[in-house]
Each structure stands twice: as C-alpha cells, then as structure tokens.
Structure 1
C-alpha cells in the first residue's frame, strides 16, 4: 500500500493526539491565507447541473494569469500527480527541502528522482531531464528570478527536457512569475487558488503550458475536473481585482509582523514568504510540541529539523501566538538554544 505524505492542516489528528477539541486550536500549519476571498452564496444550479467548460472560469483565469494557454485542474495537486505519466522514464531533479508531493509522484511513476540542495542545482542540470522547483519555495521561501529560470529551461528544452515551476505562493510577488510569459515547449507552470485566495477547499488550480502538454493532461484527467460550485467561486475570485490588491498589501504587512514577533522572541525565521515563516532549528520538535500543548498547530519537518508557521487570522489569534511564545517551556527551550 502506498503511504500518504504528511501535510499541514491535520487538525483532527492533532486534536486526538493532544486531547484538545479541534474547535479550540489555532491552526498555523498550512500557509493558507486565513482571511481568504469571501465566497458568496452559490446559485442552486451549480449544485444541480454538470459544470461546463464554456463558463466564466477560463476567461477569468486567462486575464488573471496573463496567459491564454492554460488548463483548469482540481488543485495543482492533480497536475503534480499526473504529469509524471506524460514522460518516459526520466532523470528528475527536485529541490530539497520542498513540497514533498512532487518527488513522491515522480518516484511512484518509476522515474529516477534526485533530491538537490539549492547550491547543487546549477551543477546537476546537465544530468537531468526534468527539474522541478517551487517559487517561492515551500518551506524555505527561496526565490528564483525569471532570468535564471529561463536559462535553466532553455538548457533543458534543448534536449527535450522539462522545467516545472510550482507558483502556489507567488501571487503577492507577480514580478517573479513565469505565468505571463509566452508558452514554450517544456515549460510548465502550476498555479493554485488555495494559498493567496485561501480557497483550498474548492480544489481549483491551473496548468500553464504548451497546447500539446495541456491536451495530454486533459485526456488523463478526464471530464469535469472542477466541480460546478468550485468553478463559480473561482471565476469570481479571479475577477475581484480590488480584493486582490488589498490582500497583497495586507499579507506583506502580516508577514513582516510574524517575522518580527518570532525574532523578538528568540526564533528568527530562516526563510519564508508573504504567507508563512520557516524556522530551521534542531529544537523544532520540542517547539512544535510545546506550542501544540497550547493548542497552536505548526508544521513540523524532520529533514531538516524545522517548523513552519502561517499567519494568524485576527488580533485574538496574534495575541494568542504572542502569549504562547512567552510560555515558560518555550522560554526555557529558547535559553537552551541560545546558551
């Protein structure tokens, strides 16, 4: 049996493990915007009729992403799991640490997967058929400029290779995005409404790539990949430019606030982006547990030992995190770390 990879957001599991009701938790484990786009009431026909491709979703997505060559998928996860089936056995480089589903999907499909540190990407490129990056990276927040990614894509494409860039966390830094660039053979960009828009539950994302890849991907995924209610909500979120502008500003301010709060309490982030901060420390497991005992859920990583914290939703949540970081157990751990 294939083992499922661990993810943030496992609130029910944490509730059982620590004996604290799920309703009492502050969940900072996902990196999802806690104040997502406000979904309006969904018309009854969305529940009663099959979704249709000729609705508002694709025009809205083409305008938002600045590209007409795209395919709607059930969250970028659907593409992550399916793309490995579109290539013969390949040599695949995946950044580590990074979102583990990429490596897992290519391994399960029988490809040769190599985990790469940031400093090894350039030297490893000649031996790869596929390079997969998350920009900004999850969980480290590492970023790559367009010029660097374009160079790597060009070198891979010369021998029929692919560059896959997962832009799940890029919405607040559109200057880094490859999405608006003209599509090229072997360049595949993944986008999601789950993080910036906070609409993880609707399972809607997009693949931007050349038509040949989109057609093969669509054939693998089959009809009605996105539910009718999800298409209705996603189209309206993508068209709400005022909310998008205001949210991008707010998230940047909140990210700075989280960085400052962690730093002031002796846990300066090692990296992050506008939706989360990441702390690499050998005491990650202890910090995760002490916060969990106070019903604050963070995302724990074992390699390297680290924790990721998303943004608190409101002022009571910010005060709660601040109080938790001043807990005697956290202070004692911080003293050991510093001493």
Structure 2
C-alpha cells in the first residue's frame, strides 16, 4: 500500500519556481521553526573526522536528560523525529488498531497506514478504545495548538499499558510548555514513549536531530532499528553544548516574535483560532485565495488540504519582516477596485 506524500511547509524553492523571485528573497512563514537560529557552539575537529563514539553519545544523552528533566531515562538521539515515526509500525501489537488524535501532523497516519495498520483518526481522548494498541497524541498539537494536561494523557497510558499497548506523545513544540511535558514520566511509566524535537526550538532544523524518551528496553529497540552511528558527531556535539546553556534568552526571543506575529494578524482582521509559541493558526473563508495572494508577494505560509479555511503562519525573524507581512496582508485582503469606465 502506497500513501501519497504530504506537502509540508518549507517548500520555498518550489514556491519560487511557481511565483518567481529568488528563494532567499522570499519571507518563509510556512514552518514552525524558531526564525532566529542560535549561535553554534564550537565543534572539535574529531567530531568531523571520526565516527561518533560511545563517549560523545553518552555526553549528549546526559545533557538531554538534564534539559528535558527526564531523571528516569537517558533520551536516545535520533536523526530527526521523522526517523522515529517511520519505526512506529513495529510497536503496534498484531491485530490491534491505531488511534491518532486528529487533525495533527500528517506523517503519523501516512506512515502507519502505509505499513498496513488500521488507523482511526479520533477527535478526543474519549475515542481511544480497547482495540487500540497504539495511540498518538501531539502535545501541544500541530496545527491548532490543542494542549492536553499530563494527567489526561497518563490515564490513557494506564489503560493501554494494561493490555500491552503503547502511548506516543509527540512534544515537538514542547520546549515552551515545560509544565505539560511527560518527559519526567518516561522510563518509569510502561508503554509511554515521548518524542522531542531539537531543531524547532533552537532554529536548527537542518541539523536533523530529535530524541526518543521511554523505557530502556524500548530505547534499545529504537537504537537497534536505526543502526550504528545514526546521528552525526557534529550534531551530537552541538546539541550537548546548547542544551547545557542558558535557554532563557531563546524563550524570550520566541515569545517576543510570537507576540509580534499575533499583533500583525489581528491588526489585519484575521481570526487567530489556535497555535503554539512557534506558529499561529488562522481561519479565513477564502484561505486559498489569501495563500495565493501572499505567494504573489513572495510570502509563503502553510495551507492544509484537509481544511481549506486554515492557514498557518510561522514566526517572522524581525521587525522588518513583521512590517513586510503586514503590508502583504493589507494588499492581499483589500478588495480589488472595479475598473473605471471610460467617459463617453
């Protein structure tokens, strides 16, 4: 069974080919990534020259445990959360169904269905049934920002664990919501798997790095499935350095950029219906037309095939970009004036 690929944000080259201009001149607001990437720590020459050894890997896992406050497990570095998602079909017990809290990041349903799993896209946690062997919840959710309390998710995990099932909680946008994280429960709660993204918060998506948290036996399985040297030495070194530093300025910068974005959207008369600290979700009756109008001004946002009224706006990098977005929205949302008829 083949599932059609999903069109994600970040397709700036394709947008430029269609609408013109150089990709570097576009304002890309189509992703949920910190638009102000942090300064990279020094990377020693051996990280580039040698395969990543056990000492380098262990240093990163210990730094991640401190950063994510996961005292009961050492998070496993993976080459991006997407790599871990590709492995999820192996966690589905034979004969059991999968439940995904939806709408959400589309790769979960695509990957699991492509592997032959029966997937139920449910709207609330009440939709989890006894026949579900794997449940996926993105928390906070992408794209609407829905946030579940830890105790709600843990109650579902308790039910699943009693029947040998697994709960996957994707906290890709969780760095700004530490109080909602289940990282502290990973490793001591059977049947709980937590995914964390590194690149979104730090603005380094190209590093392709994420972490899996859970029981040690399960992390050993993921490590085996990924094979040796799954994450590069430079990526491990950069993560170790950044997670050990003071992240307060990063959080403040993201909060300021988010506030500025929402101010622009609301001043333009758009209805902000959800989002996280790294993006805002807008509902508009003519979202497709607005998307195209922005593209013609070389501003890229994220549309959704499953809801034609939604557009997701990522954070702009600075005040100048805020002004550019505001001007683009003014032009896009201003009704065209009818042409004046020539006088007789």
TM-score, normalised on structure 1? 0.93
In the alignment, is the contact (CA less than 8 A) between 1:85 and 1:109 conserved in 2? no
Offset from partner CA, 1:178-207 (integer Å, 9 cap, x none): 012252111000001111111111111110
- In structure 1, the residue matched to 2:66 is 63
Instruction: Flag the structure with larger Rg.
Output: 2
Q: Give me the whole-angstrom Cα distance separating, in 1, the residues matched to 2:4 and 2:213.
A: 29
TM-score, normalised on structure 2? 0.91
* 1:126 Cα offset (Å): 3.4
| 1:298 paired to 2:301 | yes
In the alignment, is the contact (CA less than 8 A) between 1:133 and 1:164 conserved in 2? yes
* 1:268 Cα offset (Å): 2.0
In the alignment, is the contact (CA less than 8 A) between 2:64 and 2:74 conserved in 1? no
One of 177, 184, 203 as aligned partner of 1:180? 184
Count of residue pairs the alignment pairs up: 328
Q: Secondary structure at the match of 2:193?
A: strand
One of 151, 155, 159 as aligned partner of 1:151? 155
- In structure 1, the residue matched to 2:242 is 237
**Root-mean-square deviation over aligned CA pairs:** 1.6
Q: Which runs of 5+ in 1 are unaligned?
A: 334-339
* 1:131 Cα offset (Å): 1.1
One of 236, 244, 254 as aligned partner of 2:257? 254
Summarize the alignment of residues 160-175 of structure 1 with structure 2, pairs less than 5 Å apart. Answer: 160-175=164-179
In the alignment, is the contact (CA less than 8 A) between 2:133 and 2:160 conserved in 1? yes
Residue 69 to residue 48, structure 1, CA distance change in 2 (3 Å): closer
Summarize the alignment of residues 80-95 of structure 1 with structure 2, pairs less than 5 Å apart. Answer: 80-89=85-94, 90-95=96-101
Summarize the alignment of residues 1-339 of structure 1 with structure 2, pairs less than 5 Å apart. Answer: 3-55=4-56, 56-67=59-70, 68-89=73-94, 90-118=96-124, 121-183=125-187, 184-241=189-246, 244-305=247-308, 306-327=310-331, 329-332=332-335
* 1:127 Cα offset (Å): 3.7
Q: Give me the whole-angstrom Cα distance separating, in 1, the residues matched to 2:221 and 2:182.
A: 21
In the alignment, is the contact (CA less than 8 A) between 2:270 and 2:283 conserved in 1? no
Q: Give me the whole-angstrom Cα distance separating, in 2, the residues matched to 1:45 and 1:177.
A: 35
Q: Secondary structure at the match of 1:105?
A: helix
Q: Give me the whole-angstrom Cα distance separating, in 1, the residues matched to 2:100 and 2:292.
A: 29
Q: Give me the whole-angstrom Cα distance separating, in 2, the residues matched to 1:193 and 1:332.
A: 42
* 1:44 Cα offset (Å): 2.6
In the alignment, is the contact (CA less than 8 A) between 1:61 and 1:238 conserved in 2? yes
